[in-house]
Structures are given as structure tokens and as C-alpha cells.
Chain A
Amino acid sequence: MRFRHGSQIVLHIAFIVACLATLFPLVWMLRTAFAPPHDVFRATMSLWPENATLANFTAAFRLHPVGTWFVNSVVVAGAITFGKLAVSVPAAFAFAVMSFRGRDAVFALVVGTMTVPYVITLLPTYVAVASIGLYDTLTGVVVPAIGHCGFVVFFLRQAFKALPRELFEAARIDGAGPWRQMLTIALPNIWGAVAAMAVLSFLGAWNLYLWPHLILDSTEHKTLSIGLKLFATTGEQGGDWGPLMATALLAALPVVLLYLMAQRQLVSAFATSGIR
């Protein structure tokens, strides 16, 4: 691109300002999470508190079962991720390399779920979960969420399709059945795509709000995302801002770390979701 030296500098200044503005709310969350209680209620603009402390974290755990919420979030997000991959990997493999009657129709049925706004599935799913006794259980949150696996199937099918057919031919001649072909030959070649879908599913499940909010009722069954709302609305007048920001930090940390570690896979997954 033809940009003279001076305009590069302008560009960098603009981006530095934009990045600082974008990151500022997160910096402020960090600052408040580590600020001693008396400092929180001082109208201040200093970016870091004097005498930073972990007191807000211990206070948060005392006020609400934050540890349990964290574990619940990990269980829910982990189980949804595992469940989605467990049904999507074989399905994607079948749609990509096997030929059978009705394949295209069934593929449309699965991938078509991408176009269904989940709002319209909410009420009957809630009723069904409640009537089989899974209301207020993590299982009740996890199982229906696995049905929304259209994009994972679509993405993994693309990855499987990109593999050369000779790979499977050779294995078939050696007497490997389709399951062995999938597990020992195809899967090791598409780990990047699987990892991308795992991270994407985990992020999505960790961030679920309305669905777990409807299903999980008792305080100790909540996940972090919905516990935060309880925390924000049950504080005394004036609010427990320090402990609340400490809890928000705990809710943000796993996904931010995951993002920083798996950035390349995530970007490719998001980019594909845009091109689809």
C-alpha cells in the first residue's frame, strides 16, 4: 500500500488510542478487583491502587459460592464442548467421505440448525427439561445445547473433505474399517480444525446466559455468568464492587487465556464462520 512514512505514524497513533480505549474497561475491572475496600469507594482516576490486595477475592468467596459457580461453569462448558465434538466428528466424517442414501437431505437437516434462531426453541425445550426432572440441574443445561452443532459439523466436514482420498483408499485395502479410518487416519490430520471448534464451542458455552438462567434456579447450581447477575443485584446499597469485579475477573480469565493461547485457530474459525 502506498502510504508515506508520516501516515504510518498517524495510523499507529490512531490504533494505540483505539486499543487503549477498548482495553480500558478491562483495566478498570482489574484495578477494582485488586483495590483495598476503602479505595474502591473513592472517586478516583488512578490506574492502579496503592496497597493492592487479594481481599476482594476472599470476600467474594465469602459472600457467594463463587468457587462452586466456577466449577459449574467449567463442567457445563466442558461437557457441551465434549458432547458437540462427540456427535459432530463422526457426522462430519460421514458427510465428507462416506456415500449413502439421503446423505444430502440429512446434512441439510443438521447444518440447517445454524439458521434457526434459538429463541424459537426455548420454551418447549424448557418444558421438556422440566417435565423429565432435569430442571435446576447442569445436565438439563448441557444436553439440549448439544443439538446446536450445525456449524461444528459444517466446519469439520470441510476439513475432512480437504484430505486426499488416497489416504482412505490405502487404509481400506489394509482392512481398516471406517471407524479406524476416522480415528487413526483422518482425525490426526485435522487436529487444527478440531481444536478450533473445541475452543469456539467452549467459549460459546462458557458465555451462555439466557438458557442456564432459565434452567438453573438454586444458588449453588448457578454458573459464573448467571451468578454475576445475582451478585450484582443482591449487594447492599452501594454494592460490593470490589468482590464483584474480582468475580468478573474470574469469569473473564479462562476465556481470555484460551483466546490468547489459541488465537490462530480461533481467528480461522471466526473467519470461516464469516465466509460461510
Chain B
Amino acid sequence: MTTAWRGAWRRLAGSPWLFAGPAVAAAILFVWLPMASTLGLSFFDWSLLRQEATWRGLDHYRGTLANPDFHLALVNTGVYLAALLPLQVGIPLVLAFALVRVKAKATGRLYRTALFAPSVLSFPVAAVVWLWLFNPTVGFLNTLGGAVGLPPQRWLTDPDIAIWSVIIVAFWKSFGLNLLIFLAALANVPTDVTEAARIDGASPLRQAIDIELPLISPALFFAVVTTIIVVLDEIVGAVDVLTEGGPYRTSSNLLYFLYERGFRHFQFGEAAAVAVLIAAIVAGVTWAQFRFGERHVHYD
């Protein structure tokens, strides 16, 4: 090989694009391109079998927005959010504040390990474990309830209760992540700040609320985002295993509605419109969070 060739080869092999190219290609091919296609698909009727498209304009959006099942899914998603946001942010926050005040550090780590354990499981595994606890005849919950004189509940088939059962499972399976986020943030709070407050005679509660809470507000903000992701996205694994959205769609949510339209009824155009609407809601909530965050979150 001549030196010129070798030089060219070396330049090619050392090109930054050879390093970054595969990741860029994967991001475009599997994220950005499908995202654009979903938007396009939502304006068409499209069948996987015939592979032909008919222009429908905004019909799928109109149809979806007028669909009572969609309304129910939307309202349920609101219920999931309204229940899980305070639970998933509040309880881990209290646990984190308490955990950093445990003086025996090794024991504290043990608590953290135990509290985070369910969070490494998948939603279907968590759901199956609870499916058994919820069993109306021999499940543990009704056995326990019976022992203290409570009537047995139909945890997953009573329309008034089913969604709350899914909420319990979702909380159990995912509060640990927010706990870790808060603990990491609290570990970064400089000790001289809390020390100064302590010397000034602030009670532990005042220290937590007046000093630590503002300092970890970015983490608080992020915990809200992770919870929204759980509700709009991951929870579908629990819904599908526990209730299949039932009874009478009372525990369905937006993603489950999309799954039904797209993959049970194969209405791809309509499902694409639902996907766009979900993404718009996620984007809207995130944007609102950022707007709110900019004014109230203390980044430092």
C-alpha cells in the first residue's frame, strides 16, 4: 500500500462519523423517522394487509375526540395522574427526608435496598404478584380482611375499585425510583447550610421544608416527570395483566385505548391519531412543568 492510500485509509477509519454514525442512524431510523410517520399515518386510513392508504384529513382526530371510549380513557388517565402524583412524589419525599436522618448509615442503606426492590421488577411481574394477592377467594388481601372482619372485595372486577387496585400496584412498583432521585439530591445539599440552620435553632421539620426542599426542587420536578411517564406509558403492563382495562373500561387509560384501536381492531390511522394526541399531552405537560419550573424551581 502506498503511503497516500494508507493516509486516506487512516483518515477514514479515524473519522468521527464512523464513531457517531451508527448511533445517529439508529436514532433517526428508530425514533425520529417513526415519529414523523406516525404523524403522517394519522391523516390516512391504512391497512397492513392491503398496504394502501386513503386520505382522511382530520377525520381520525375528530372521530377520536368524539369517541366516548376515548373520553373515558382520558378521564381515567386523569384519575391515575391525580392519585399517583401526590403518592409517588409525596411518600418518597417523606421517606427520603427521614432516611437521611437515620444515623446508622449501614442500616439506612439496608432500608433503601428493601424499599427500592420492587422498582427493579417489570410491571407484568408486579401485576402477576398482586393478581394473586387480589384473588377474591383465596387471595391474601381478602384473607387478611376476613380475619379482621371486613367483607371480601372484588379488587379487580368491581368497577368502583379496579382502577384503585391498579394504582396500588403502580405505586408499589415505582415509588422507589423517586426515592432514589430524592436521596441523590439530598446527598448534594451542602452540610454547612443545614448545619447553620441547626445552630440557628431550626427544628428538623423547618430545616426540611425551608432549606432542603427548595434546594432539591429540580429533583422534585424530575420526579413529577417520571410519574407522568409511568402513568402515560409503563402502567399499561399492569393494566393489561390485571384488568385488561376493565371492568367496563373503568381502568383503561390512553395507551391502552391506543393498543385496542391499533392492535385489536387494527385501525392504524386512528391509533396513530391517538398516539399523536398522547404525545401532545406529554409535550404539553412537560412544557407546563418547565414553565412552572423556571419560576419556582431553584437550580443551583
Contact = CB atoms under 8 A, between A and B. Distances in A.
A205 B141 CA distance: 31
A43 B128 contact: no
A95 to B, nearest CB: 7
Contacts of B2: none
A248 B98 contact: no
A60 to B, nearest CB: 12
B122 A251 contact: yes
A207 B19 contact: no
B256 to A, nearest CB: 10
A170 interface: no
A143 B25 CA distance: 12
B124 interface: yes
Contact of B120 (A110, A119, A255): A255
Interface in B165-217: 172, 177, 180-181, 183-185, 194, 198, 204, 207
Given A28-B132, A147-B26, A251-B122, A275 B117 contact: no
B17 A100 contact: yes
Given A94-B20, A106-B24, A245-B132, A3 B101 contact: yes
A66 interface: no
A89 to B, nearest CB: 9
Contact of A25 (B172, B184, B194): B172
A214 B101 contact: no
Given A146-B26, A149-B27, A122 B268 contact: no
Nearest to A145: B30
Contacts of B125: 207, 225, 228, 248, 251-252
A18 interface: yes
Contacts of B268: 123, 127
B184 A214 contact: no
Interface string B97-138: 011111110010001011111101111111011111101011
Interface of B: 10, 13-14, 16-20, 22-24, 26-35, 37-38, 41, 48, 51, 95, 98-104, 107, 111, 113-118, 120-126, 128-133, 135, 137-138, 140, 142-144, 146-147, 172, 177, 180-181, 183-185, 194, 198, 204, 207, 218-219, 222-223, 226, 229, 232-234, 236-237, 240-241, 255, 258-259, 262-263, 268, 271-272, 275-276, 278-279, 282, 286
A231 to B, nearest CB: 8
Nearest to A270: B180
Given A91-B22, A120-B35, A274-B226, 17 more contacts: A1-B100, A8-B102, A22-B118, A25-B172, A28-B129, A87-B22, A90-B23, A93-B19, A95-B20, A113-B32, A116-B32, A116-B35, A210-B259, A226-B124, A228-B124, A244-B128, A255-B120
Contacts of A150: 27
Interface in A148-206: 148-150, 153, 177-179, 182, 203, 206
A267 B112 CA distance: 10
Contacts of B194: 1
Interface of A: 1-3, 8, 11-12, 14-15, 18-19, 22-23, 25-26, 28-29, 32, 40-45, 86-88, 90-91, 93-95, 98-100, 103, 106, 109-110, 112-113, 115-128, 130-131, 143-150, 153, 177-179, 182, 203, 206-210, 213-214, 225-226, 228-229, 231-232, 239, 241, 244-245, 248, 251-252, 255-256, 258-260, 263, 267, 270-276
B122 A29 contact: no
Contacts of B233: 117-119
Contacts of A239: 135
Contact of A90 (B19, B121, B135): B19
B118 A25 contact: yes
Contacts of B144: 45
With most chain A CB atoms within 10 A of its CB, the pick from B33, B143, B237 is: B237
Contacts of B204: 1-3
A120 B27 contact: no
A239 to B, nearest CB: 7
Given A225-B124, A225-B125, A91 B275 contact: no
Contact of A270 (B32, B177, B263): B177
Contact of B34 (A18, A121, A214, A251): A121
A78 B132 CA distance: 30
18 contacts: A1-B194, A11-B98, A41-B138, A90-B18, A106-B24, A109-B32, A112-B27, A117-B282, A120-B275, A120-B278, A123-B268, A146-B30, A147-B29, A209-B234, A210-B240, A228-B241, A255-B121, A274-B184
